Structure 1
Amino acid sequence: MMTLYSGTTDPYSHRCRFVLFEKGMDFEVIDVDVFNMPEDLAVMNPYNQVPVLVERDLILYEANIINEYIDERFPHPQLMPPDPVMRARARLFLHRFEQELFCHIAGLESNNAKVNEKAREAVRANLTQIAPIFGKQKFMLGDEFSMLDVAIAPLLWRLEHYGIHLDKEATPLMKYAERLFSRQGFIEALTPAEKAMRK
């Protein structure tokens, strides 16, 4: 059985929980207090961060690596495209999410108002840029739900919590977000603390 060490409000852990629930498999989630990390976590992950996935002798960290492993190990429903070209494109998108959106998470969670505002602006601009895509298609890669949707969903869920308000032009993106939030796997993956992030 897989065990996921997961932060209750950590967006990266949220990604992994989402995949596990989408797959509908047997696993255990161990909630970790990110402000008071258990000592054994530092042994499992040299960066002393969540999420960490443990399965027998295998220990994985980094949300995207964990999720690809789960997807390959339990291929139904498949979340990464089966075609190598599309899969490479999907990985490039995931990399861009890290570089352009998720790199601002620390800033969004900072107590420094200036750092906060700068991060909010950057995320708002990047999301507004991709919003028009969803006027034409249901999900990131077209009509099929994929790992890209899993990756961005935790950030979209936290927009209100982070004080990010999008303009009318981002309406297609917000409708897309609601489609993600209504998925059973997403609902089941939410922790009580995450549920409290949205009114």
Structure 2
Amino acid sequence: MYSPEVVAQVVDEIAAELARAHARDPLSDGLAAATLPAQVRAAPELVDRALVQLVAAERVERRGALVALAGWQPRLSAADEAFRDSLLSELERSGAEPPAIEELGQRHGRDPVPVLRLLEREGKVIAVEPGRFYAAKAVDGLLDRLRGGMTPGREYSPSELREVLGVSRKYLIPFLEYCDRTRHTERRATGRVWRASAA
């Protein structure tokens, strides 16, 4: 077992590490709890015990697999706020055919992923495929088109669904795969059907 002094030391080290992590990555919701033993150089069971104390004392919050100092919220600098607004505006304007992450990075001269992840947590954008985010409004609009253009129970080929959605094949297949994953559609032998439960 660990002495109270050892646990108290790890408690302090975890709090300090979280403060450093928040300073390093102000757009993040927190630090992966699984990385803490390596970060503070302590046994996993000791870190777990220290985390229990920190959470009980309301100094730290668990957020799924992440931990953060109590009350921590991602913070945007003025430049990040402007970048966030610019990215969201661009994705909303591009509608059903948004640029890839790489294109956004080249266009803006910086990595858009941290800000896109923040927008995703806010529910403003959706990662429809690896490397491409859509504005949530665009996804809702595409789903409305599918819902309105598909008769329940009937299978639709990709070419029929391309006409319903009005997008190129480059965007069609990844979007249809997203719809399968989110259980709006079901892929069958000759096409896709709209799931009645998705109505």
Fold equivalence (TM over 0.5)? no
Q: TM-score range by the shorter chain?
A: under 0.3
| TM-score normalised by the chain length of structure 2 | 0.26
Give the structure, 1 or 2, with the largest relative contact order (CA under 8 Å, sep 6 or more).
1
| TM-score normalised by the chain length of structure 1 | 0.26
Compare CA radii of gyration and give the structure with the larger one.
2
